[in-house]
Structure 1
Amino acid sequence: MIDDSLLSQMKEIGMSEYEAKVYVILSALRVASAREIHEQIKIPRGRIYETLTTLAQKGFIVSSGKSPVRYSPVDVMQTFERLKRESVKSLEGLYERLKALETETPVPPMQGYKLYTDWTRDNPIRMILHRAKSEIILLCDDEEFLKKYSSDISRAAKRVSVYLVVGRPELAGFAPIKCYAGGRDIESSLFHNEVGESNGLSMKLFLMADRCESLSIMEENGNLTGIFIYPDIYASYMSRKVVQEIEPVERSRKAT
């Protein structure tokens, strides 16, 4: 009786159902003819020869003798060391091709999208936090957003540099990572407009990743609207200015 879990593992490395069965039983018998293998696993005689030929071509087994031909598995350690080398080589080739696509594909013109619903805002926020490669700058003036994306921010901070800037000192208590306070320009331009400059909008969240894309969420009359821009030609300048101006703040104990 062949262990089904072992067959499943063999199929995970690219074997067919018949190939897995023949290889496993041959590994147990060590040496056997096609007829002996057929008697053990009860698959069609014609498929036995076809499967043995395929396994030999793939380098899993060898044959000897002529009447009858007998088969045996290649040394397991040798076989799987070869498979590991081939797998690594294949993955490296795939990686190089995908990296080439990143560098060769022309940068699209700047595009902006309005995000009107919770879902259309939530999905890109999580995606940006997940896919950023080097840096994330997140300005937030909303306790609920900090709570909602706490785990995503924490995971991102383990991979890339994350600058979390809070709009009010009390929000530091809800920050999942080290956070910062903005200087006068950030405070007056992004968080709380000075008298006479207000346009009726209040910023809840402003996210920039890798100095090339941005997503902002604003509130007007109790309604939230998001705007996603990529590539954002201003994100590089804005990111540098924010990093230059912010200062670390102490996090108070989180509210309960």
Structure 2
Amino acid sequence: MLADIPVEKETLNALKTMGLTDYETRAYVALTSVISGTATELSEASNVPRSKIYVVLKSLVKKGFVEMSRGKPLQFTVIPPHEVFKRSRNEIKETMDKAEAELNMVYETQIPNVPAPIWLVHGPEKIVNKELEIISRAEESLIIMAGFMFKEEPPKLKEVIQKAIKRGVNVRIIIMPHSIVDEEMIDVSQVLQNLDCDLKLLQIPNIKMVLRDKKEMIMAFSKFSGESAVSKTSIGIWNQYREFVETIEGMYEFVWNNELFKEVKI
């Protein structure tokens, strides 16, 4: 550990996540304490061997953590942490976004080639996460029908639906205005009604469904105790069989256009 410099282990790990070696981390932390110093001074402050300190400091200069002033002896000055972390945070995010986009493309290309692209999803958290994932992939159309929703689901759905709308996705929603889950009333309509999309409040069955681009969908069910859904019993069926997805979308269109279910007033 660094001598006389009280730094949490998580801070050291963060610097290593930003691409610093152990010696570079030691030297940068020391510099945040002394602000500026010679290689000899920084070797003593950081416990980095003198035989390594010049290589370490020059590497920090190259990585943008330290500035070097010409002269004899060379003087090294720390770049303020807020500048370093802001730049690194942006670089890490950009790298992760690119990696996510590339791997998602591979994932979405290969999923339909799986011999049986149907999976069971157990539990409310995994079901909601899969719904959010499907919505985030919508490119042209998104249809949602929800006879019930879990406790923290409506605001999460609203956030990703708003992003889909901004991408130009055509969104249509049929929901019950309220859900009772685990004996607790969940107010759905107050969260979703302000979305800039087509929305109907109908007395629909106790199932929920998210379908995008006629390619992919999840349909979820739960056991009920009286009028209350029992969340721990919930199960979702996620699939990418186009024929099945198109059939379910046809059923949705029938409900949407023929007002099969009674409209609910709030």
Task: Bin the TM-score by the shorter chain.
Answer: 0.5 to 0.7
2:218 and 2:265 map into 1 onto residues whose CA distance is 27
Paired position in structure 1 for 2:265: 250
Q: Distance in 2 between matches of 1:159 and 1:244?
A: 25
Aligned residues: 216
Return the letter of the residue paired with 1:48: I
- Give 3-state SS (helix, strand or coil) of 1:2's partner: coil
- Aligned match of 2:165: none
Counterparts of 1:216 and 1:75, CA distance in 2: 52
Q: 1:136 to 1:151 in 2, by over 3 A?
A: farther
Instruction: Report whether the alignment pairs 1:215 with 2:183.
Output: no
In 1, Cα distance between the equivalents of 2:43 and 2:14?
22
2:56 aligned with 1:51, yes or no? yes
Partner of 2:237 in structure 1?
Answer: 228
Normalising by structure 2, what TM-score? 0.58
1:138 aligns with 2:150: no
Q: CA deviation at 1:51?
A: 1.9
- Which deviations, in whole Å up to 9, do the C-alpha atoms of 1:194-234 show, x marking residues without a partner? xxxxxxxxxx4242332521325387xxxx89561411432
Show structure 1 runs of 4+ deviating over 6 A. 169-173
Change (3 A) 1:70 1:152: same
Q: 1:248 to 1:98 in 2, by over 3 A?
A: farther
Contact 2:36 2:78 in 1 (8 A): no
8 Å CA contact 2:39–2:76 kept in 1: the answer is no
Which residue pairs with 1:176 in the alignment? 187
Report the AA paired with residue 241 of structure 1: F
Q: Give the counterpart letter for 1:176 in structure 2.
A: D
2:250 to 229, 237, 241: 237
Whether contact under 8 Å (1:112, 1:229) holds in the other structure is yes
1:4 is paired with a residue of what secondary structure? coil
Instruction: Report the CA distance between 1:4 and its aligned residue.
Output: 0.6
1:64 to 61, 70, 76: 70
Name the SS for the 1:209 alignment partner: strand
TM, length-normalised to structure 1: 0.60
The aligned amino acid for 1:209 is L
Identify the residue that residue 200 of structure 1 maps to in structure 2.
Answer: none
Assess, with a 3 A threshold, how the Cα gap between structure 1 residues 21 and 129 changes in structure 2: closer, same or farther: same
- CA separation in 2, counterparts of 1:170 and 1:10? 47
Which moves more between the two structures, 35-44 or 9-18?
Answer: 9-18
Unaligned runs of 5+ in 2: 162-170, 190-199, 224-232
Cα distance change, pair 214–30 in 1 and its aligned pair in 2 (3 A): closer
Q: Give the gaps of 5 or more residues in structure 1.
A: 192-203, 252-256
- After TM superposition, the structure 1 = structure 2 runs for residues 191-206 of structure 1, keeping only pairs within 5 Å, are 191=205, 204-206=206-208
Q: Which has the larger radius of gyration?
A: 1
Which of 164, 173, 187 is the matching residue for 1:163? Answer: 173
Question: Aligned equivalents of 1:250 and 1:107: distance in 2?
Answer: 41
Deviation by residue 1:47-94 (Cα, 9 ceiling, x = unmatched):
4234224223323333634xx642313754876675466446534533
Instruction: Describe the shift of the 1:132–1:227 C-alpha distance in structure 2 as closer, same or farther (beyond 3 A).
Output: closer
Match 1:18 to one of 17, 23, 28: 23
Q: Secondary structure at the match of 2:45?
A: helix
Q: Distance in 2 between matches of 1:225 and 1:86?
A: 40
Are 2:92 and 1:73 aligned?
no
